[in-house]
Amino acid sequence: MKAAYITQTGPPEVIIYGELPTPKPGPTECLIKVAAVDVNPIDTYVRGGVVPAKINFPFILGRDLAGTVVESGVAVKRFKPGDRVWASNQGFAGRQGTFSEFACVDTSWLHATPPSVRDEDIVAASLVGITANLGLLRDAKLKTGEIIFVNGGSGGVGSCVLQMAKAIGARVVTTAGSDEKVACCHKFGADLALNYKTQDVDAAIKSFAPDGVNVWWETLREPNFERAIPLLAQRGRMIVMAGREAKPAFPVGAFYTKDCSLFGFAMFNSSAGEQRTAAAYINRWMSEGKLKAQIDRVMPLSETAAAHRLQEESTIQKSGALSGKIVLKP
Ligand SMILES: NC(=O)c1ccc[n+]([C@@H]2O[C@H](COP(=O)([O-])OP(=O)(O)OC[C@H]3O[C@@H](n4cnc5c(N)ncnc54)[C@H](OP(=O)(O)O)[C@@H]3O)[C@@H](O)[C@H]2O)c1
């Protein structure tokens, strides 16, 4: 089968697009014909060797897939050949990744794809959607009628947080880096979307939420607590989920005297059970049209190296080149 893989970590040039043996499913695994995968920033960190990762070379890149079961292991009961499925959290903890024509996935990580949802849409909402769901429901426990500020509402994670918060019945304030991306945030249901390059975001938050925001979701790799904590409401919750090297100042007094809480998490640590709960919400909201995939572009799998370069430029160097996800098709 064709696959995008690495035999060493390094720049995008280490990515090889070539032949690898098609895997055989173990007793609790399904062999899936992959229809679509997507790029996540973590793929570029793993490929670059900048985050600790348990890798067996040749290592197939990628965390997410959507496709169709072609063979089930002997102990598999939940899925049969012909079923459409999606998965995340592959390419982690010794598991192979998803950037290949075929992939074996343990059924604990597999979710049925709703009939009305396209493979490229479900895959574009997989890792980022699970992330958004865990942070909103498991951690911040966002409630109907509350106000959430999403810093970066046009990105992969941010666009899911924004739409899921609306599905929960919250009021959403968010930011984006161009007027087109601001319009996109409005299309996804934002009550107030601001261009962080041209508008006074903090003044607008204060005017929209005079008592502060109940939840602050930070998608940036440089969280700014001196800015965020004064804008949090009493019992406000803040989510941080990016910026491994960040060491920002933290105004302790302003935080604890308002009974605030801080949540940090990495979605890859969540259990298969937690991911299945999140996946059920994603399936339901996508079927109902309440969650739409934010796809910037679709590329062939053979162009994985170019896709990695683009993702790095956009997320790390902040070129703003992307608005959402890159989907790749084998
Ligand atoms: N902890 C976890 O489980 C987890 C899961 C997924 C991702 N992550 C991490 O979360 C981060 C975001 O991931 P992603 O996939 O959403 O990346 P992304 O699609 O590249 O989104 C980045 C967002 O940041 C926005 N942004 C850039 N500069 C900004 C500024 N000064 N003010 C406000 N917004 C700004 C961008 O907006 P514009 O394009 O409009 O400028 C874009 O919406 C990455 O570092 C990733 O590694 C963590």
The Cα–Cα gap between 88 and 126 comes to 6
pLDDT in tens, 224-248: 999 999 999 999 999 999 999 999 9
Q: How many CA atoms lie within 13 A of 206 on its CB side?
A: 8
Give whole-number Cα distances, 101 to 23, 98, 106, in Å. 10, 8, 17
DSSP 100: B
Q: How many of the other CB atoms lie within 10 Å of CB of 53? A: 16
What tokens were used for 131?
């992330």
Kindly state if the Cβ of 267 falls inside 6 Å of ligand 1.
yes
What is the CA angle 218-219-220, rounded to 5? 95
Question: Could you tell me the distance, in angstroms and rounded to a whole number, from the CA of residue 156 to the centre of ligand 1?
Answer: 7
Question: Could you tell me the distance, in angstroms and rounded to a whole number, from the CA of residue 157 to the centre of ligand 1?
Answer: 7
137 by DSSP, 3-state: which? helix
User: What is the band of 61 on the pLDDT scale with cuts at 50, 70, 90?
Assistant: very high
Return the closest-CA partner of residue 88 out of 136, 56, 131. Answer: 131
The Cα–Cα gap between 69 and 157 comes to 27
Question: Could you tell me the distance, in angstroms and rounded to a whole number, from the CA of residue 178 to the centre of ligand 1?
Answer: 14
Give the closest residue (by CA) to ligand 1 atom 22: 155
**pLDDT of the residue at 206:** 98
**pLDDT of the residue at 177:** 97
Ligand 1: nearest atom to the Cα of 42: 47
What is the CA angle 227-231-236, rounded to 5? 115
pLDDT in tens, 122-165: 999 999 999 999 999 999 999 999 999 999 999 999 999 999 99
Kindly state if the Cβ of 88 falls inside 6 Å of ligand 1.
no
pLDDT in tens, 66-113: 999 999 999 999 999 999 999 999 999 999 999 999 999 999 999 999
Give the closest residue (by CA) to ligand 1 atom 39: 320
Q: What are the residues whose beta carbons fall under 8 Å from the beta carbon of 196, sequence distance 6 or more? A: 175, 176, 177
Pocket test for ligand 1, best of 131, 219, 274, 316 (most atoms within 8 A of CB): 219
**pLDDT of the residue at 241:** 98
**pLDDT of the residue at 288:** 98
**pLDDT of the residue at 149:** 99
Instruction: Specify the pairing of strand 232-240 against strand 261-264.
Output: parallel
The Cα–Cα gap between 4 and 109 comes to 21
Q: What are the residues whose beta carbons fall under 8 Å from the beta carbon of 95, sequence distance 6 or more? A: 89, 106
Ligand 1: nearest atom to the Cα of 322: 39
The Cα–Cα gap between 63 and 57 comes to 16
Q: How many of the other CB atoms lie within 10 Å of CB of 176? A: 28
pLDDT in tens, 301-330: 999 999 999 999 999 999 999 999 999 999
Give the closest residue (by CA) to ligand 1 atom 35: 152
Is residue 217 within 8 Å of 150, Cβ to Cβ?
yes
Question: Could you tell me the distance, in angstroms and rounded to a whole number, from the CA of residue 151 to the centre of ligand 1?
Answer: 8
Residues comprising the chain, all counted? 330
Question: Could you tell me the distance, in angstroms and rounded to a whole number, from the CA of residue 74 to the centre of ligand 1?
Answer: 41
**pLDDT of the residue at 155:** 96
Is residue 162 within 8 Å of 136, Cβ to Cβ?
no
The Cα–Cα gap between 119 and 85 comes to 9
pLDDT in tens, 14-38: 999 999 999 999 999 999 999 999 9
**pLDDT of the residue at 326:** 98
Pocket test for ligand 1, best of 157, 309, 325 (most atoms within 8 A of CB): 157
Mean pLDDT of 29-52: 97
Q: State the residue for tokens 């998490």.
A: 265
- One-letter amino acid identity for 2? K
Q: How many of the other CB atoms lie within 10 Å of CB of 269? A: 11
What tokens were used for 159?
């666009």
Question: Could you tell me the distance, in angstroms and rounded to a whole number, from the CA of residue 221 to the centre of ligand 1?
Answer: 7
Kindly state if the Cβ of 129 falls inside 6 Å of ligand 1.
no
Question: Could you tell me the distance, in angstroms and rounded to a whole number, from the CA of residue 220 to the centre of ligand 1?
Answer: 5
**pLDDT of the residue at 163:** 98
The Cα–Cα gap between 152 and 179 comes to 13
pLDDT in tens, 155-207: 999 999 999 999 999 999 999 999 999 999 999 999 999 999 999 999 999 99
Pocket test for ligand 1, best of 202, 315, 317, 327 (most atoms within 8 A of CB): 315
**pLDDT of the residue at 93:** 96
**Percent of the residues in the chain that have a pLDDT greater than 70, as a whole number:** 100
Kindly state if the Cβ of 41 falls inside 6 Å of ligand 1.
yes
Question: Could you tell me the distance, in angstroms and rounded to a whole number, from the CA of residue 99 to the centre of ligand 1?
Answer: 22
Helix/strand/coil (H, E, C) string of 45-96? HHHHCCCCCCCCCCEECCCCEEEEEEEECCCCCCCCCCCEEEECCCCCCCCC
